[in-house]
Each structure stands twice: as structure tokens, then as C-alpha cells.
Amino acid sequence: MTTMATAAPARASQAWYKILYVQVLIAILVGGMVGCLWPSVATNDWVRALGDGFIKLIKMVITPIIFCTVTSGIAHIQDAKKVGSVGLKALFYFEIVSSFALLLGLVMGNLVRIGNGLAVKPDAAAVANYVKQAEASKTVDFFLNIIPDSVVGAFARGDVLQVLLFAILFGFSLMALGNRGERLRGLIDDVAHAVFGVIAIVMRAAPIGAFGAMAFTIGKFGPAALGNLIGLIALFYATAAMFVVVVLGLIARLVGFSIFKFLIYIKDEILIVLGTSSSESALPQLMEKLERLGCSKPVVGLVVPTGYSFNLDGTNIYMTLATLFIAQALGVDLTFGEQLTILLVAMLTSKGASGVSGAGFITLAATLSAVNPALVPGMAIVFSIDKFMSEVRALTNIIGNGIAAVFVSWWEDELEHATLQAKLDQATVSTTIDTTSTMR
């Protein structure tokens, strides 16, 4: 209690311009201004490299973090059934919430028929590369690709699911060693702390990365690139916001906390994702924050990494909404049966999407190919604005995975409610103080 009481004053005494989320927010605004006013400067390779470089810095430590966190979490559990329980509950949660996301996108696409009357002629050549990738992404291949050809290769490529599989197996192996594995467990814990230290250093460059990513995006596409498609962007933003506030908000209320306080608690991660358009850029820091929030370490280690392939709520909303938009724009009437097919197909194709910017567009190609091949050329209609939509996909995905970890911890009766409320209240108070200081 003493530590928590002294934390707020220390935070309040910090100069506003030294606060990370304030720096990131300013960087995003400045990047947007540079992109609008000086597009030739903003589209320079060095400016683009600022955003891409920051994402690469984060991605270089994602696989070590996942391996250490998952392995340590499993190894410290005495009962193997406990791990299976967490995994099954997580997958059940993913499927239920993903279905709500898909259904919401389908409902909004039918209610607000924003694609009707859109005079756009699709160019199939513009999306040929994405379609090719989608056709190569078969469901069977996806599951086979979870098994790495070599452990070293999985780490080198940064393949999250392959590293996750090896970490689970390694964790069970350490669990079986009992006392003999104590020293190795301690070493893995120490390595995890060291890697989180690397993350703390890298995060200091977050404003630079956010500036570069936002300046390049606006400079390359610009407000004019939106054209008549701004309606689809607005509808997608509104639908994603509705999903977060209503669906995830009800889940949060069931657990016993406010979704708005949770959003304030992870505001740094939200702004980083907004600036980089990649939910992976905030994955390590999100996992650390969830543990500090009172979530069980094994649950966080299993749920969050798995959620990056199995719980992509923003991508699910995008796929059903964009599919209906393209069908309406091309004048293709989808029957009720075909719309149900969209739900079933999207439930499978979305599992192959990662938190990397642009992955949602590839899964859209896979969905359209399976539902109605005549719709595939229509992907060119949304091609130019996909970058603007990928930011909201990434934001919704990271918020959804954070809520999933809290919910499964609560379901497993391993959530420290007192810590949860204290941390959320503390974050809210600190943000209020920071905002007041900024206005002054």
C-alpha cells in the first residue's frame, strides 16, 4: 500500500513533456502535419525508415519475450491440467468473441449500405499479389506451419506461433524435471527481466517511430486518397468503437471493472499502435502491464501470444464489413446463405492473420476467394485506404487481447481484484493530473 501511495506524487512531479504517451501523441500530430504540408519530405525513405525501424526493434525481442514468459509460466505450474484448462478456456473465449465481431460487421454492413452506388471500376492487377498470398494460405498449411522445421529457424524468422508451440513443450519439459529444473527456471526468469529491460530502452524511441510512420502514411496517401471511400472508413471506425465499448465493455463489467479505465491504463500502448499501425509493436509492454494489473503470469503468457493469431477482433469486423462493401459496390447481391458462409469462412481465414500491418488485407483476399471469386477484383476498391483501416484493426486487436487475458484470469480465479482496481484507479488519477499539467 505504501508503494502505491507514493507512486502518484512521483508521477505528478514529472514534467508533461517527459511523459511517453504525451510524446507519442505530439509525434503523431506533427507527423500528420508534415505529411500534409510537405508530402515530398514525408515520403522520403529515411522518414519511412523511422517507423519501420522502430517496429523492427520491437519485433527483434518479441520471440524471446514469448518464449521466456510462456515457458516460465508453465514451468511454475505444478499441475499440467491447469495449462490445458487455461488453453481451452482461452480458445472458447476467442471463438465466442470473434463470432460477435464478425456478426457486428455483417449487421452494420447490411444496415448502412455504404457501398451502394459507388462508381469505382476495380483493377484486379492492383491486388494480384495479395490474392496470390491468400490462395497460398490454406487452412491445412496454416496448421502445418505452426510446427517449425527447426527451433532456431522459428526464432530467426520471428514466427510467433512456432515459438509459442516450442515454448509450451519446453515448459512442460521443465515442469516434469521438478526440482532439477529449478536453476534453469530461474535463468529463464532472469533472461525475461533482461529482455524487458531492452524493451524499456527501445520504448524511448517510440515518438520517433510514431512520427515517421504517420508522416509517411499521410504523405503517401494524403486526405485526397480517401475520396468517396471516407464513408467506409467512418463506418469501420464507428463499428470498431461500438465493439470495444459495448461487447468488450460488457465483458469488462462482468469481471468488475470499467472498459474506459482499462483504455486509460494501456493508453501508451494504444498510441504506439496508432502511430505504427501494428499491434505487435506494443505486445511485450502489454504483457508486462497485464501482469502488473493482477493477471496470472501463466494466463498472460498463454492468452496474449495465442490471441495474436486466434483473437483478432478488429480484423474480423473489417473482413465482414469490407466484403459487404465490395459486393454492394460491384452490384453483387449476396444471399443469406452466402452471408452465413462469410461468417464461417472468415472464422477460419482470420486465424492466419498476425498483428503486422496489412495482414488483414491478405485475409480479406482469402475470404473473398472462398465466398465468391467474382468479388476478388473488387479488393482494388479498398486497396488505397487499407492503410487507414489497418490502424483501427490493430487498435481493436490489442484491446481485445488485453481484455481476453483479464477475463481468462478471472475465469481461472487467478485475478487479483484489489490490484486490478488499484492500478486502474491510479492510472486514471495520474492521467487526470498529467492532462492538467499539460494544459497549464
Three-class HEC string of 222-290? CHHHCHHHHHHHHHHHHHHHHHHHHHHHHHHHHHCCCHHHHHHHCHHHHHHHHHHCCHHHHHHHHHHHH
User: Domain locations in the chain?
Assistant: 15-439
Give CA–CA dist 282/269, Å, rounded. 5
Residue type (1 letter), 388: F
pLDDT grade for 323, boundaries at 50, 70 and 90 = confident
Query: The domain at 15-439 falls in which architecture?
Result: Orthogonal Bundle (1.10)
More confident residue, 336 or 372: 336
pLDDT grade for 431, boundaries at 50, 70 and 90 = low
Give CA–CA dist 76/171, Å, rounded. 9
pLDDT at 2 over 50: no
The total of other beta-carbon atoms located within 10 Å of residue 395's CB is 24
Give CA–CA dist 273/121, Å, rounded. 33
Mean of per-residue pLDDT scores for the chain: 76
Average pLDDT over residues 64-77: 75
Q: Which pLDDT belongs to residue 9? A: 40
Average pLDDT over residues 65-82: 71
- SS3 state at 1: coil
More confident residue, 438 or 417: 417
Question: Considering the entire predicted model, what is its pTM?
Answer: 0.67
